[in-house]
């Protein structure tokens, strides 16, 4: 319980919220710089499913991962 309080005091988020934001930040980087499919990015970032990535990403960033990629990608899209 003490660790939870320390994290809250340092970053203003619960440990879970902080972790989810770090995962979403990594997903943003991968969406911008790689052509990996969203499902692969979900796995690489520690989300259990692509749906989980989409839900957290949309809540935190305000847009879906695919829309984010279209707006900010610097790498070609993945070929399926």
Whether 13 and 21 have beta carbons less than 8 Å apart is answered as: yes
Query: Residue 69's closest CA among 56, 60, 80, 78?
Result: 78
d(CA 11, CA 7): 6
Q: What is the pTM of this model?
A: 0.83
Residue 11 confidence (pLDDT): 72
What pLDDT, in 10s, does the model give residues 36-69? 999 999 999 999 999 999 999 999 999 999 999 9
Whether 61 and 24 have beta carbons less than 8 Å apart is answered as: yes
In order of their start, the domains of the chain are: 22-80 (1.10.10.60)
């Amino acid at each position: 319980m003490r660790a939870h309080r320390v994290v809250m005091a340092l970053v203003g988020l619960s440990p879970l919220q902080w972790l989810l934001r770090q995962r979403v930040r990594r997903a943003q980087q991968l969406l911008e710089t790689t052509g990996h499919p969203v499902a692969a990015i979900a796995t690489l970032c520690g989300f259990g499913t692509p749906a989980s990535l989409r839900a957290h990403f949309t809540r935190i960033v305000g847009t879906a991962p695919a829309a984010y990629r279209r707006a900010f990608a610097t790498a070609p899209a993945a070929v399926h």
